[in-house]
Amino acid sequence: MVEQNTALLHAFVLDGLGGARSIDRQRLDDLQLGEQESLWLHWDRSQPQAQRWLRENSGLDEFSCDLLLEENTRPRLLPLPDNELLVFLRGINRNPGAEPEDMVSVRIFADARRVISLRLRPLLATDALIADLQVGKGPRTASELLLELARHLTNRVDELIAELSEQLDQEEDRLDADERYRPDHSLMLQVRRRAASLRRFLAPQRDLYAQLARNRQPWFVEDDDDYWNELNNRLTRYLEELELVRERVSLVLEAESQRMSERMNRIMYRFTVITGMFLPLTFITGLLGINVGGIPGADNPTGFLVACGLMVLLAVVQLLLYRRWRWL
C-alpha cells in the first residue's frame, strides 16, 4: 500500500469553484465525480505501480500508454479520439544540484473531466498549482488545470532568462568600466549553453501553445484560447530574449578579442618605434667598432665624446622626425 501511495504523488477532485479535495489510492477505483467535479492524478512514472495502473486501470489504449511512458520526449500535442489530448510539456529543473536548462518533462492526458500527469523528477510548478487549490484560487475545470500547469511552467522560464540577462549585464558593465578586465569565459560559455538548451525545448513548446489556441476543444472554457495565445506570445518573447542573450555573449567575447588585438598592436608598434630609434645608432656603433686602422678619431682623446654627441644629435633628429610624422 505504501508503494501505491509513493507512485501516486497527488490525487485531487476539483470542486468546480477553485478548490479541491485530496483523495487516496484506495478511493480512486470507486470514485464517482459530481456534476461540476474534475479529477487530477499526478503520478511518478518511474514507479512500476504507476505504469501498471496506467496500462490496466486508466482506460487508455496501449498507444497512449506507450507514448506517456516513453523515455525521451519533446514538447508536442497529440489529439486523440473523443476530444482527448496528449500533451507533452517541459519545465525548468529547479531541483537541488540540477542544471536549470536540463528541463523536466511532464506528460499529460486530458479530457473534459480528467487530467492524468506523469513526471520523473519533481516539478515546482505542480507544487504551486496545489497551493492555489488549497486556498480556493486554483483551476475549476480540467481545461483550466491544463492551462494553469502550463502557465506555472512558463513562469519559471521567465525567472531563468532574467538570471541569464543579469549575469550578462554584470559582465558588460565590468567590461565597460575597466579596459583591462577580461570576461569570465567559463561563465560566458555556460550562459550560451543554457540559452541553446532552453531554446531547444521552448521553440516546440511555443508551437504547442499556438496549436491549443487555434484548435479549441469542446470542453475548453470560453476564453481559454485567449490565454493559450498569451502563453504563446510570452514564449515567443522568451525565445527572442534567448537569441539576444546568445548575441550578447558573442559581442562580449568579440569585444575582448578586439581589445586584446588592439593591445597587442600597440605593443608591437612601440617595439617597432624603439627598434627604429636604435637602428641608426647601432649601425654607427658597429661601424666605429671595427677593429681596423683608419677609424676617424681613434687617436683623438675627445673622439669618444664627439661620437656620443653625434649619436645624441641623431637620436634628437629622429625623435623630431617621428613626432612630425606622428609616429609618436
Q: How confident is the model at residue 21 (pLDDT cuts 50, 70, 90)?
A: very high
Q: What pLDDT, on the 0 to 100 scale, is given for residue 208?
A: 93
Average pLDDT over residues 201-212: 92
**If you average pLDDT over every residue of the chain, what do you get?**
87
Q: Is 204 exposed, middle or buried (0-12, 13-18, 19+ CB in 10 A)?
A: middle
- Widest CA span of the chain, in angstroms? 125
In the numeric block, the cell 498569451 is attached to: 230
**Strands of the 38-44 sheet, one edge to the other:** 20-22, 8-14, 38-44, 114-119, 104-110, 84-91, 76-80
Percent of the chain past pLDDT 90, that is, above it, reads 40
Q: Which domains does the chain have, with CATH numbers?
A: 2-258 (3.30.460.20), 265-324 (1.20.58.340)
pTM: 0.76
Give CA–CA dist 126/130, Å, rounded. Answer: 6
Inter-helix orientation angle 224-288/185-214, to 10°: 160
